[in-house]
A = this chain, B = another copy of it.
Amino acid sequence: MPETSFFADMLQSITDRGRKLLLAGSRTGEDAAEIDLEALCEMLLSSRGEASGMAIAAEILDRWSALENDDVQQFLHMLYERFGPDTAKLDEAIENYRNDRSSAAIIALHQTAEPRRQELLRRMNLAPNGTAKLVRMRQQLLASKEQSDEFRAVDTDFTHLFGSWFNRGFLTLRPIDWSTPAHILEKIIKYEAVHEIAGWEELRRRLAPADRRCFAFFHPRLADEPLVFVEVALTRSVPNAIKDVLDEGREQINADEATTAVFYSISNCQDGLRGISFGNFLIKQVVEDLRRDLPGLKNFVTLSPVPGFARWLAKARASAAEPPLSDGAHSVLMLLDDPTWAADERRASEVARVLLPLAVRYFLVERTPEGRPLDPVARFHLGNGARLERLNFLGDRSPKAMQQAHGLMVNYLYKLEDIVANHEALAQRSEVAASPAVKSLLSQDGESRRGNGQQNSRPFAQIVSSRIGGRRK
């Protein structure tokens, strides 16, 4: 950090002066530490030299780093309370605008309505490692967001600034492989959020083989911190179970033999950047890069979890309301209540017949109040313009997946020429793009609601990929 000694030297004079200012204005009985931070923030806002500004910013962030518990809350509260817009000036600007309505008046109005903390955060960002620290600050904020409405106002400012600082133009895509520096790899282990990486040996299995790829987005100000990464398996067919992808003993192939790139794990790394979306860019960029390097690749699919399915199904089972599950469906689904159901081929087969059409309903029919798919992962991929390609019954038998989705996984298909149309259909008309095979299950859903699933004549194997008894059917 070349800036350090410069700041060290400069800080002395700054804080000497700062302290004098503070002493001059201090009122007895108040908590010294808090006054200091607020006063420093005011100093930062009023500083006119960049160097002194950077020094004050560094000081603020240093002190903030040392805060604990209630003091953190107090700091965030201070951002809200003391660094909103100056309402007196705002009223004046409004008055002015109503008389004038010139573009200059609007500019003034706009600038006056901006909370002062926006500029404050911009200036803090100039401190060494400022961006990383502000990302942590927002992480604290998000942790307490639920508690209080006032934090929402503060978060609006963070979101606005982060959206600008982390815009896609600044992100660089880097391949992650077994020749990546260890201090970055250990973060991949730490941040993997979908299928846990147990240690360095497993990491090696995910990165080193010729038929594996991994890519991450990085940001110049968060140097060696990945923002989001995706793990890819190169295969000769679309996998229907995560086990096949992660299996130690699987047969490896050469990259140029692969026809299919499977995105089997996408993890956001920075809690403090929640809602600042880069995953969609990541996937599209990776598709692009893989296509160029490996012209043999024809299919780009995911193998994805369905994290909201079990919750939704439980609600559906509990609800008496429309659309009612048929009695037959109800009773079949009671099999789920015995955790051993999946190990028993016969029971699993019965569950599959009822559960899969319901899953299609979950994806294709149900919507949030805003008209979006219920499942968060579905929202992400369908929102990117992918289509729902296949349901994989018992695609993941891990406890987490059994609990979240009764083992269900799905493949989303990224087909370049359809991405725009799919995206628009969802955005404009709330229509979910799905393969014919998936759609055909919808009628069965109707049937299962009517209780006559049995008479369905098409075997599942054709329309969904299922793994009953742990074997491919």
Contact = CB atoms under 8 A, between A and B. Distances in A.
Interface in A142-183: 150, 152-153, 156, 161, 163-165, 167-170, 172, 178-183
A221 B281 contact: no
Interface string A181-199: 1111110000000000001
Contacts of A287: 6
A206 B417 CA distance: 40
B424 A52 contact: yes
Nearest to A165: B164
Q: How many copies does the complex hold?
A: 4
B183 A221 contact: no
A420 B13 contact: yes
Interface in A101-145: 101, 103-104, 106-107, 109-110, 113-115, 122, 125-126, 130-131
A164 B284 contact: no
Of A52, A150, A169, A185, the most chain B CB neighbours within 10 A belong to: A169
Contacts of A125: 167, 169
A5 interface: yes
Contact of A94 (B17, B80, B94, B161): B94
Return the 3 tightest CB-CB contacts between A and B, nearest first: A110-B113, A103-B153, A49-B423
Interface of A: 2-3, 5-6, 9-10, 13-14, 17, 48-52, 54-55, 80, 84-85, 87, 90, 94, 97-98, 101, 103-104, 106-107, 109-110, 113-115, 122, 125-126, 130-131, 150, 152-153, 156, 161, 163-165, 167-170, 172, 178-186, 199-200, 204, 208, 220-221, 224, 277, 280-281, 284-285, 287-289, 292, 383-385, 416-417, 419-421, 423-424, 427
